[in-house]
Amino acid sequence: MRFLFVGDSMTIGHAGDFTWRHRMWQHLESTLPGRYAITGPRTELYDAGADAAVSTAYADDGFPAGARRHLAGWGEGWLHMAPVIGEAVAAHRAQVLLVSLGLIDLGFYTNSEQTAANVRAFVAGARAAEPHVRMVLLPVLPNVRARGDAPFAAECERFNELLAKTVADLDSPSSPLLLASPPEGWDADPGRPDTYDGTHPSPYGEHRLAAAYATAMHQAWGLGGPYTGL
pLDDT tens for 180-209 read 999 999 999 888 899 999 999 999 999 999
Average pLDDT of span 105-109? 97
Question: What pLDDT band is residue 230 in, cutting at 50, 70 and 90?
Answer: confident
Q: Note if the pTM is more than 0.75.
A: yes
Give per-residue pLDDT as tens, 28-83.
999 999 999 999 999 999 999 999 999 999 999 999 999 999 999 999 999 999 99
On the question of pLDDT at 13 being above 90, the answer is: yes
DSSP string, the chain: -EEEEEESHHHH-BTT---HHHHHHHHHHHHSTTS-EEE-SB-PEEETTTTEEEE---S-TTS-GGGG-BEE-TT--HHHHTTTHHHHHHHHT--EEEEE--HHIIIII--HHHHHHHHHHHHHHHHHH-TT-EEEEPPP---THHHH-HHHHHHHHHHHHHHHHHHHHH-BTTB-EEEPPPPTT----TTSTTBSSSSSB-HHHHHHHHHHHHHHHHHHH--S------
All structural domains of the chain, each given as residue ranges with its CATH number in brackets, are 2-221 (3.40.50.1110)
User: So what's the pLDDT on residue 162?
Assistant: 98
